[in-house]
Amino acid sequence: MSLFRHNILPRLRLLRTALSRRFVYADVVAMAQEYGLDYRDLSADVEPFGFVLSVAKGIPPDPPDFPALIGPPEGFTPPGAPARFNSEPSVGRFLGQLVFFSHAQTVVELGCFGGWASAHMALALKSAGRGGRLYCVDYIQEYLDVMLANLRRHGLGDLVTPVRGMSLEPAVLAALPTRIDVIFLDTSHAFPGTRDEILAYAPRLSPGGFLVLHDSVGASGVRRSVRDVASRFKVLTFATEQSNGVAVLQPR
Ligand SMILES: C[S@@+](CC[C@H](N)C(=O)[O-])C[C@H]1O[C@@H](n2cnc3c(N)ncnc32)[C@H](O)[C@@H]1O
User: 169 in helix, strand or coil?
Assistant: coil
Instruction: Enumerate the domain spans of the chain.
Output: 57-251
pLDDT of residue 127: 95
CA 152 to CA 180: how far, in whole Å?
23
Ligand 1 nearest atom to the CA of residue 114, by list position? 9
**Any atom of ligand 1 within 6 Å of the Cβ of 25:** no
Q: From ligand 1's centre to the CA of 186, what distance in Å?
A: 6
What tens-digit pLDDT sequence spans the chain (252 residues)?
567 766 787 777 767 766 665 545 555 556 655 655 544 455 566 666 667 767 777 666 788 999 999 999 999 999 999 999 999 888 999 899 899 989 999 999 999 999 999 999 999 999 999 899 999 999 999 999 999 999 999 999 999 999 999 999 999 999 999 999 999 999 999 999 999 999 999 999 999 999 999 999 889 999 999 989 988 998 888 878 777 888 999 998
pLDDT of residue 23: 44
**Any atom of ligand 1 within 6 Å of the Cβ of 185:** no
Residue with CA nearest ligand 1 atom 13 = 111
**Any atom of ligand 1 within 6 Å of the Cβ of 197:** no
Q: Is 23 exposed, middle or buried (0-12, 13-18, 19+ CB in 10 A)?
A: exposed
Strand order in the sheet with 133-138: 160-164, 133-138, 106-110, 180-185, 205-214, 246-251, 233-238
**Any atom of ligand 1 within 6 Å of the Cβ of 166:** yes
The CATH fold of domain 57-251: Rossmann fold (3.40.50)
